Amino acid sequence: MKALILAGGSGTRLWPLSRKKYPKQFLKLNGDRSLLQHTMDRLLKIVSRSDSIVMTNDEYKYHVKSDLGWIENVILEPASRNTAPAIALGIKYCLEKLGCKEDEVIFVSPSDHVIKPVDAFAHAIVQAEAIAKAGYIVTFGIKPAKPETGYGYIKADAQEENINGAGYFKVDAFVEKPDLDTATRYVREGNYYWNSGMFAFSIKTMLNALGKYAPAIQKALGDTFEGMITNYPHMPDISIDYAVMEKSDRVVTVPLDLYWSDIGSWDALYEVLDKDADGNVKKGDVLAIDTKGSFILGGKRQISTIGLEDMLIVETDDAILVAKRGEAQKVKDVVIKLKEANRPGVDEHVTVYRPWGNYTVLEESQRYKIKRIVVLPEACLSKQMHYHRSEHWVVVRGTAKVVVGNEERIIHENESTYIPKSTIHRLENPGKIPLEIIEVQNGEYLEEDDIIRMTDIYGRV
């Protein structure tokens, strides 16, 4: 079995924490591991590292490398084309690059879900492999814990069938997100399940389904993997649900009676996290007085609340979200309005991540900008120059190797260097601990597009 993890999504339903440049699959929402890392941890219960494939895009590839440094198989989508083309590209990779046969089973998983217990999940996937080998496309339906209007549903046939002891139901229909009355009826009837967005199928079965229901996508599979990459932006923009699942008579579902959440909103995350005696989720420096049933997520600042109930408060360096719990789906409306106003906080945090590390803007005005730059061990910024600004670097932690013009030198803590305008320079961390510097920029134009790269180990020239 091969596991294909879809990690290219740029959802902003957890704004202001999740943003386009750093979406939720890379966030550490509960502990010190990201949702992507937790996803890989689960899959390693059933497949090896070499049988794991991550599909992402060029913008996120260094985040994937940071989280899963050892991963061997990474596919970079050249454009966002939804799940049907993504799965087809993953199939081509398995056939051409990994040498898979058409009877190989592929398990497809999003990268940003919460599932527990892991052992029960792993057992269900192993059972689903046998069903997929019999020529079925397996979906995984979550037994509803309550009426939920934020999920699509799978309507299952009443008669359970099994293969070698692995139970499944044929799928009667896929249902879009219902209203509350309809969702309540689904839960009462008992044969409706939340659609988890996870699938298992043999390559042969999916190739046949694509040929029958999505011939344009199946035709693209006749090209080489590199040819598919080249033509990928022209492939149909369609989900696997619409392309195949809702049309095929070979679709079945394996019910999962476990905890599952796609963390699609702050309300969903509230349900996942541990709560205190007053039903509050508190992260950061939080003082809550007479406050109940609230989600309070702090960053660097201290947050105090008095007399609140069922509230949502999320604080980051540059934005604060305050909402009533139960209204978190409307965060998308906030993001839309911020996009319309061309606000940069939609896409980027104050801390911006790069393949070599990250930088945080501490303060800026019309002719100066102050950054904290963190360079990972043995990482290196591009050799570059700026036409419109000079820079002053002060090392506050670690050791820096710098090139300024024709001079190369080592700078230690509490030492500094100056880079005049239009001077070629480079910053490198030769050490074993992160390098931290304070950079003061001065000039008439201080935006990131005033970077002229000469060489770059990350291919950004």
Predicted pLDDT of residue 454: 92
The upper half-sphere exposure of residue 221, i.e. CA atoms within 13 Å in the direction of its Cβ, equals 26
- The percentage of residues in the chain with a pLDDT greater than 90, rounded to a whole number, is 75
Q: How many residues does the chain have?
A: 461
Q: What is the mean pLDDT of residues 427-453?
A: 95
Burial 29-66 (b: 16+ CB within 10 A, else e): bbeeebbbbbbbebbeebbeeebbbbbbbeebbbbbeb
Check whether domain 351-455 has CATH 2.60.120.10, yes or no: yes
Predicted pLDDT of residue 20: 85
Question: Which residue type is seen at 201?
Answer: F
Q: What is the pTM of this model?
A: 0.86
CA distance 52 to 50: 6
Task: Encode pLDDT of 340-352 as tens digits.
Answer: 998 878 888 888 8
Residue 30 has pLDDT above 80, yes or no: no
Burial class (CB in 10 A: 0-12, 13-18, 19+), 295: buried
Residue 150 has pLDDT above 90, yes or no: no
CATH superfamily, region 2-264: Spore Coat Polysaccharide Biosynthesis Protein SpsA; Chain A (3.90.550.10)
Residue 11 has pLDDT above 90, yes or no: no
Give the pairing type, strands 137-142 and 435-443: unpaired
Task: Encode pLDDT of 374-433 as tens digits.
Answer: 999 999 999 999 999 999 999 999 999 999 999 999 999 999 999 999 999 999 999 999
**Number of helical (H) and strand (E) elements in the chain, helices listed first:** 11, 28
Predicted pLDDT of residue 148: 86
Task: Encode pLDDT of 308-328 as tens digits.
Answer: 999 999 999 889 999 999 898
Q: Where does CATH 2.60.120.10 sit in the chain?
A: 351-455
Confidence grade of residue 269 (pLDDT, cut at 50, 70, 90): very high
Q: What is the mean pLDDT of residues 53-71?
A: 88
Q: Where does CATH 3.90.550.10 sit in the chain?
A: 2-264
3-state secondary structure of 364: strand
Predicted pLDDT of residue 108: 97
